[in-house]
Structure 1
């Protein structure tokens, strides 16, 4: 049975007139989605915890829950809901942007959104959630030279491992942009 993978960005009310409205899920809607999954008997899991199910090594009614970019609203609005249902999730962080905002999509969104700080990211991890790498600066990886690609990908993992003192085994491609070269680099 395939494992659904839910990918979120902003767990917040979309500001009036915001572009890319699809990157927002309101806190109320997120709570309803998690409640429905729970009621249907699903267990929400981080990507690492979901991998045995994805590979067919384990069976169960599971769904992987992920968040891209590390917006502060993930910590404030999603974490309490995840904890309420006993779910875990993976947040893919842009390591050079901790405590800053989202320059990669601020113009397209029409708003600068705060990202988790180092302290907040540690709170996410301490709550039993997983942290994955999402590059250092959120570039389109296929546009990079080989050296810059490796710096973005391995550098992000190294930054996060140094900060959190745990292995970072998950990577998410910014914009979902990845060809064979990027997939090989991720391995």
Structure 2
């Protein structure tokens, strides 16, 4: 066998290996998705006719051929459950605009609930966790176009870092986005450096002995946000949507307008905003969201 033939054979074998790994990863992703909890709006909330649905986005990746190829080769949740491709995101924002859905700011929501104001009709609040580059580059321009208010929750100790397959926005990129969006954009907290899981796969801050560190981390995140942006945060989002009785009690005394979870549901006049439900928006949840908004 000639050197050229050996090289060609090696390339073919590598391609076969990559395709096999890709097929196995995609199959595993499908199995995981089928066995995981549904992202659709739970049935008990579908008949609520007066309430506020809080959307939660993470990644808004460009729907390029390279992204599609990587999605087929990887079961990374940031590419699947926690990603809405740019074309779908643009469609969703246009849908809210064209159907005259009342998209309100989080501050308006907190005032409505704090004043025990009866909620008549259906409203939407938009939020983004982590604020990576895809949010800055692909999502915020769309919301500026339609003049839609939104909240971004920042991991203050991870700005500019590469984590979980995503490039987090830098402080300069966040500040530039804030200048462009103006009052449409509200900055919130997502911990300073406690957005990771322990060896058992649970959010590290939910461990009982971590409460002192959680308090220090929260104070650090609030300080960092003020130092880098001049903004005093009035909202906090739990990483992975988890919370504990201890963290709830602590945050209830931190002069926050609302604390975001990932417990799917609809905000009503009876909801405690110290445990605000949100719905992860993705391909699976959107049909139930759209149906709730228009019926």
TM range (shorter): 0.7 to 0.9
* Counterpart position of 1:44: 103
Q: Are 1:46 and 1:66, in contact at CA under 8 Å, matched by a contact in 2?
A: no
1:135 pairs with 173, 183, 191, which one?
191
Aligned mates of 1:153, 1:32 — CA distance in 2: 36
Q: Deviations over 1:144-173 (max 9, x none)?
A: 522211022222122112211121111000
Cα distance 1:45–1:162, how it changes in 2: closer, same or farther (>3 A)? farther
Q: Are 1:44 and 1:63, in contact at CA under 8 Å, matched by a contact in 2?
A: yes
Q: Are 2:187 and 2:231, in contact at CA under 8 Å, matched by a contact in 1?
A: no
- 2:170 is the counterpart of 1:117: yes
1:170 pairs with 201, 220, 235, which one?
235
| Matched position secondary structure for 2:162 | coil
Q: Are 2:171 and 2:228, in contact at CA under 8 Å, matched by a contact in 1?
A: yes
Aligned mates of 2:136, 2:54 — CA distance in 1: 19
Give how far 1:70 is off. Answer: 1.1
Question: Which deviates the most, 65-74 or 47-56?
Answer: 47-56
1:10 pairs with 37, 40, 59, which one?
59
| Matched position secondary structure for 1:160 | helix
Higher relative contact order (CA 8 A, sep 6+): 2
Q: Deviations over 1:95-119 (max 9, x none)?
A: 00111122xxx2xxxxx21111011
- 2:223 is the counterpart of 1:158: yes
Q: Are 2:211 and 2:247, in contact at CA under 8 Å, matched by a contact in 1?
A: no
Aligned mates of 2:105, 2:190 — CA distance in 1: 15
Q: Are 2:156 and 2:191, in contact at CA under 8 Å, matched by a contact in 1?
A: yes
RMSD of Structure 2 on Structure 1 (CA) = 1.8
Provide TM-score, normalisation by structure 2: 0.57
Give how far 1:79 is off. Answer: 0.6
Q: How many residues align?
A: 179
- 2:87 is the counterpart of 1:31: no
1:57 pairs with 109, 117, 124, which one?
117
Aligned mates of 2:173, 2:103 — CA distance in 1: 21
Aligned mates of 1:10, 1:96 — CA distance in 2: 19
Question: Which deviates the most, 49-58 or 17-26?
Answer: 49-58
Give how far 1:49 is off. Answer: 3.4
Unaligned runs of 5+ in 2: 1-49, 197-202, 253-295
